[in-house]
A and B are shown apart, each in its own frame.
Chain A
Amino acid sequence: MPSTSQTYNDTWKKHFQLLMEQLAKHPLPEYANTEKELIYSENKLRLFRYTPLDTTQEKTPLLITYALVNRPDIVDLEPDRSLVLRLLEQGFPVYLIDWGYPDSSDCFTSLNDYINGLLHRCVQQTKRHACSQRVDLLGICQGGVFSLCYAALHPEYIRKLVIIVTPVDFHSTHDTLGSWVKGLTNLSPSVNVPGKLISQLFNSLKPYQLNHEKYRQPASLTEKKETLDTFLRMEQWLNDNPDLAAQAANEFMHHFYQQNSLHKKTLRLANKRILLSNIKSPVLNFYATKDHIVPPMAAQALADHISPSLYQAFALNGGHIGAFTSYKTQQQLIKKLSSWLK
């Protein structure tokens, strides 16, 4: 590495120039867009079935549920990092919920609507489409929280449950996001939370890394086309934040971040108590060791609720997103998940 300031500046200029030249003739890279079929839609929600590959198929459909705060495209970002493709290669029938982009008319969509309404209907549609009595659920982050609640309320429909980087204890130590949200008063009940605000909130968790360091070295992007493509796709995904339906956002903030009701066993939906101990299916809990959004302890708290004979945890060496998108950890994840699910 060049050690003098002048050499460093000259190198920076050279690579910034290269970056400009490359971007000037570089088309916007698309996501992997693995072939899929729309099998159900409701308001903004769409449920997709990915086209199976030419390999022996497992019987039980695998339904992926992502968070509301970002787009689910992250699980199919590009072929080499596509969680969806890796699952298809293993012969799993993969289904995915796309929650869509809420608008002002969706402001009164509640958590109950999401979990006992939309998610429930997606599970039923998946079962029917796959001609299966039950589904395997794969929930990521807040999608994992929804999946846990659903499995606790409707254990009869779930064969196995996988969750990735999913918080259970929202009051664990070193949870900066949890500390910040804990003290907030309620948001407006009829105004959706702008997606841009959520994006800024996440950025503010690591302000120096995400506002400065990330854009310091153009050299890291100009050496390989693939690296630039990956960076551009990630930027596109990071800047694509749907608004959050006001009621659901308020309820999630109140019940999970502020009251920690799920972990304290006091959570109720539609007047029914949600006890994670009611989950009867095997549970595989992937958590990320360097996750600053869902600290490991927040995810590992699930062990307090699930019978040991049903529960397994697996540590992934990475951050919140890197845990399931980086080459190395994705391979570890798929290997473990595949052997556990089959």
Chain B
Amino acid sequence: MNSSDSKPDTIAEQLNKLLSSDMPDEYKTLLKNFQQQGEFYSQLIQHIDNEDKLESFWNLAHKPPFTAQEQTPGFTQILDSIRALQTATLKITAIQHDISQQAAILFKEKQAEKNSNNVEETYQHWLQAGDAAFLDASQRDDYLSAQQQLFDALKSLMQAQQQYYPFEQPSQQSITDLQKGLQQLRTEFAEYKEQTEATIQTLKARIKKHS
């Protein structure tokens, strides 16, 4: 072996190389997802082994659509909408915290029932605890209400953004009128085309019959 051979890259180094390469974006996203989940599940086991608190492992607060990360603030006119969005997000977060706590309790119960160190079983218990806690919460009135408020806040924000337009741009009303007119024109033309083709077919059949 050549003593000057460099050590093989670590997994992290290999991953970074690939993420900076011309690999398809879909593959990069996939690898990042697997890498993140590898870390997630590894930390889960570490926390279990250390008997640390586990609630955070069922936390959905940072996953869309439970966050407002897609929104882009920046206009003074939309601050109220953003505040509404923040309030709604806080409510959802509180409920998510309940889900996490419930899942942690269920997980401990499942782990206690099984007296083995099988890691695969542990992961399955994690999933089952999460699913059970989520199923229970997702049908509750307060959850449905908080979801509704979140979507209403998102809608208000989108509308507020729509109403703000810089100088020398068409107004929303004129764009709306154009869109309505275009849709009507499309439908009329398509219906006309269809009728014409049907008529032509009928006439062709008649001509063939009489010839």
A109 touches B183 (CB 8 A): yes
8 Å CB contact of A208 from B33, B131, B151: B131
Chain A residues positioned under 8 Å from B11 (CB to CB): 13, 16-17, 20
Interface band, chain B: 35 or more
Tell me whether A39 is interfacial, beta carbon within 8 Å: no
Collect the chain A residues with CB atoms within 8 Å of residue B127's CB.
Answer: 208-209, 212-213
In the complex, what residues of A have CB within 8 A of residue B26's CB?
28, 232, 235-236, 239
With A187-B155, A209-B127 given, is the CB distance from A179 to B38 under 8 Å? no
Q: Is the interface of A mostly helix, strand, loop or mixed?
A: helix
Which residues of B163-211 have CB atoms within 8 Å of chain A's CB atoms? 172, 175-176, 179-180, 182-183, 186-187, 190-191, 194, 197-198, 201
Proximity bits, A179-218, B CB within 8 Å = 1, else 0: 1101111011011000011001101101111011101101
A24 engages B139 (CB within 8 Å): no
A106 located at the interface, meaning its Cβ lies under 8 Å from any Cβ of chain B in the complex: yes
Contact of A207 among B40, B134, B145 (CB under 8 A): B134
Inter-chain CA distance A3–B144, complex, in Å, is 40
Question: Is the CB–CB distance between A183 and B116 below 8 Å?
Answer: no
Per-position binary interface string of chain A over residues 72-112, scored 1 when its CB falls under 8 Å from any chain B CB and 0 otherwise: 00000000000000000000000000000000111111000
10 other A-B residue contacts (CB within 8 Å) besides A4-B119, A42-B190: A17-B11, A43-B186, A43-B190, A108-B180, A109-B183, A124-B198, A183-B144, A183-B145, A207-B60, A235-B30
| A16 and B65 contact, Cβ closer than 8 Å, known pairs A3-B119, A28-B26 | no
25 pairs across A/B with beta carbons < 8 Å?
A: A1-B118, A4-B119, A5-B42, A17-B14, A107-B179, A108-B180, A117-B190, A176-B135, A176-B139, A179-B139, A179-B144, A180-B138, A183-B144, A184-B152, A190-B176, A200-B65, A203-B64, A208-B58, A208-B131, A208-B134, A209-B127, A212-B40, A216-B37, A235-B26, A235-B30
